[in-house]
Amino acid sequence: NAGVTQTPKFQVLKTGQSMTLQCAQDMNHEYMSWYRQDPGMGLRLIHYSVGAGITDQGEVPNGYNVSRSTTEDFPLRLLSAAPSQTSVYFCASSRASGGGYNEQFFGPGTRLTVL
Amino acid sequence: GQQVMQIPQYQHVQEGEDFTTYCNSSTTLSNIQWYKQRPGGHPVFLIQLVKSGEVKKQKRLTFQFGEAKKNSSLHITATQTTDVGTYFCADPWGGSQGNLIFGKGTKLSVKP
- Residues of chain A neighbouring B105 (CB-CB closer than 8 A): 42
User: What is the rounded distance in angstroms from the CA atom of residue A20 to the CA atom of residue B94?
Assistant: 28
- pLDDT per residue as tens digits for the range A45-79: 999 998 999 999 988 999 999 999 999 999 999 99
Other Cβ atoms within 10 Å of A97 Cβ, number: 15
Fill in the amino acid letter for B80.
Answer: Q
- Grouping H, G, I as helix, E, B as strand and the rest as coil, residue A7 is strand
- From A33, A42, A97, residue closest to B104, measured CB to CB: A42
- Grouping H, G, I as helix, E, B as strand and the rest as coil, residue A33 is strand
Given an 8 Å threshold on Cβ–Cβ distance, is A96 in contact with B98? yes
Q: How far is CA A31 from CA A34, A93, B83, B98, in A?
A: 11, 5, 30, 6
- From A41, A100, A106, residue closest to B43, measured CB to CB: A106
Q: What residues form DSSP beta bridges with A24? A: A5, A73
- pLDDT per residue as tens digits for the range B32-77: 999 999 999 999 999 999 999 999 999 999 999 999 999 999 999 9
Percentage with pLDDT > 70 across chain A: 96
Give the helix, strand, coil percentages of chain A, each rounded to 5: 5, 50, 45
